[in-house]
């Protein structure tokens, strides 16, 4: 099943460019010449991508309506704008990616490669496999333990049958073992919805990377709709702290994107999860780490030490999108590290790209404050 995009555009030149680019990327195009047609389709069909030429008077309504339509609220939105249009205004109405006119095939293909990876990850997260697995749930309150059984399972959560038809509240820790495996998986969760009869939906919270990998591999093997992921995207790591990192990349992912980062230097590897907190089109993105475990911090500090001891070492870094985390767009994921100077840049008052990068350069001159990966040697 291929990816499907809705395109609102009446400019024949833009349509030709996008049909060629999206065709090469195996993304189907459903062309709408006016906003009324686009709005009707948004309520009746599912799309992985929404592309809108903002010169259309109804383009804003289309992007906003996509966020309200249950089947399309997680669709990746791409806005096509004139060069004079400010990025903030476009992002504020729900766009994830921005393409400036006149549209070039090279720039469009670069952006849509990143967009396609995000589309695939969002669709993959929603794929559910029907399976019955016993699950142990432990609550934060003493003695708040119970056993449930899954109805289905996905990367983002599971549906379960609850005892006594009573929906618990608050955060829980669950433990279960996937069929055909022997390693128990543990994930923090909360209750996302309550269905009919005894059913309820459980949402996974900050799934550990190694658990997410096992879960994804199992779902791929057991889902009839499984498809091949796009390969990870290589980035340049320029700044790294215990709370996050800044990456140079020509087509950065939008703010609120969940990422898995794989770093390697001098034989030392680090795998981390993060959320994009700041994005500079065509230049880079700031990622906050979402793990706050002792093991993750120890692995991160080990990696930082390697970079500190080898200033001329260029680390390898690849990123892979996990989806959009719209509920935590500006909420710190690791509150204990909010005093981290790099995170302070991410959460500070919005500034120009030039001012932001100047602040990064100043931080690189203070190794005790923020460890800089290769930045001191290559960017100072």
As to burial, measured by CB atoms within 10 angstroms (0-12 exposed, 13-18 middle, 19+ buried), residue 320 is middle
Supply the pTM of this predicted model: 0.78
Q: Are 82 and 36 in contact (CB under 8 A)?
A: no
Q: What share of the chain is helix, strand, coil (3-state, %, to 5)?
A: 30, 30, 35
Q: What is the structure's pLDDT at 378?
A: 38
Q: Residue 176: how many CB atoms within 10 A of its CB? A: 19
Higher-confidence position of 338 and 311? 311
Homologous superfamily assigned to 233-378: predicted glycosyltransferase like domains (2.40.10.220)
Of residues 242 and 15, more confidently modeled: 15
Report pLDDT for 178.
Answer: 95
- List the single range of 38-42, 190-194, 257-261, 329-333 with lowest mean pLDDT: 329-333
* Closest of 3, 95, 106, 101 to residue 51, by C-alpha: 95
Domains 3-125 and 233-378 share a fold: no
More confident residue, 37 or 329: 37
Q: For residues 285 and 252, give the distance between their C-alpha atoms in angstroms, rounded to a whole number.
A: 6
The whole-number pLDDT of residue 225 equals 67
Strands laid side by side in the 97-100 sheet: 27-32, 3-8, 49-53, 76-81, 97-100
The pLDDT of residue 317: 94
Q: Is 20 a residue whose pLDDT tops 70?
A: yes
Q: 129-210: which CATH topology?
A: Thrombin, subunit H (2.40.10)
pLDDT tens string 323-355 = 887 554 444 444 444 578 899 999 988 888 999
pLDDT in tens, 149-189: 999 999 889 999 887 756 677 789 999 999 999 989 999 99
Domain residue spans of the chain:
3-125, 129-210, 233-378
Higher per-residue confidence, 252 vs 330? 252
**Domain 3-125: assigned CATH number:** 3.40.50.2300
Strand duo 145-153 + 129-130: pairing? antiparallel
Calculate Rg over the CA atoms of the chain: 22
């Amino acid at each position: 099943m291929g990816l499907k995009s809705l395109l609102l555009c009446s400019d024949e030149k833009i349509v030709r460019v996008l049909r060629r680019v999206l065709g090469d990327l195996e993304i189907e195009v459903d062309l709408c010449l006016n906003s009324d047609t686009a709005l009707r389709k948004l309520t009746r069909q599912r799309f992985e991508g929404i592309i809108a030429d903002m010169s259309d008077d109804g383009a804003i309504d289309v992007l906003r309506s996509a966020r309200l339509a249950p089947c399309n609220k997680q669709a990746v939105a791409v806005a096509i704008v004139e060069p004079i249009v400010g990025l903030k205004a476009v992002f504020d109405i729900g766009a994830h990616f921005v393409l400036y006119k006149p549209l070039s095939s090279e720039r469009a293909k670069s952006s849509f490669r990143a967009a396609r990876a995000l589309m695939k990850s969002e669709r993959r997260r929603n794929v559910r496999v029907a399976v019955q697995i016993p699950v142990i749930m432990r609550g934060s309150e003493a003695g708040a333990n119970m056993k449930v059984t899954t109805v289905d399972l996905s990367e983002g959560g599971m549906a379960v049958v609850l005892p006594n038809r009573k929906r618990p509240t608050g955060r829980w820790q669950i433990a279960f073992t996937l069929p055909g495996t022997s390693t128990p998986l543990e994930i923090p969760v909360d209750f996302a919805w309550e269905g009919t009869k005894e059913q309820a939906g459980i949402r996974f919270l900050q799934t550990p990377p190694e658990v997410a990998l096992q879960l994804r591999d199992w779902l791929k093997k057991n889902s009839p709709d499984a498809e091949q992921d796009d390969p990870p995207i290589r980035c340049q790591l320029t700044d790294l702290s215990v709370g996050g990192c800044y990456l140079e990349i020509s087509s950065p992912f939008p703010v609120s994107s969940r990422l898995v980062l794989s770093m390697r230097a001098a034989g030392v590897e680090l795998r981390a999860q993060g959320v994009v907190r700041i994005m500079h089109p065509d230049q880079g993105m700031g990622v906050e780490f979402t793990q706050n475990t002792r093991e993750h911090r120890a692995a991160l500090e080990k990696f930082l030490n390697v970079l500190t001891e080898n200033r001329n070492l260029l680390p390898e870094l690849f990123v892979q999108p996990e989806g959009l985390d719209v509920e935590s767009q500006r909420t710190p994921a690791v509150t204990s590290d909010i005093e981290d100077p790099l995170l302070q840049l991410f959460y500070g008052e919005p500034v120009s790209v030039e001012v932001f990068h100047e602040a990064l350069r100043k931080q690189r001159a203070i190794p005790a404050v923020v460890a800089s990966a290769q930045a001191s040697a290559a960017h100072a």
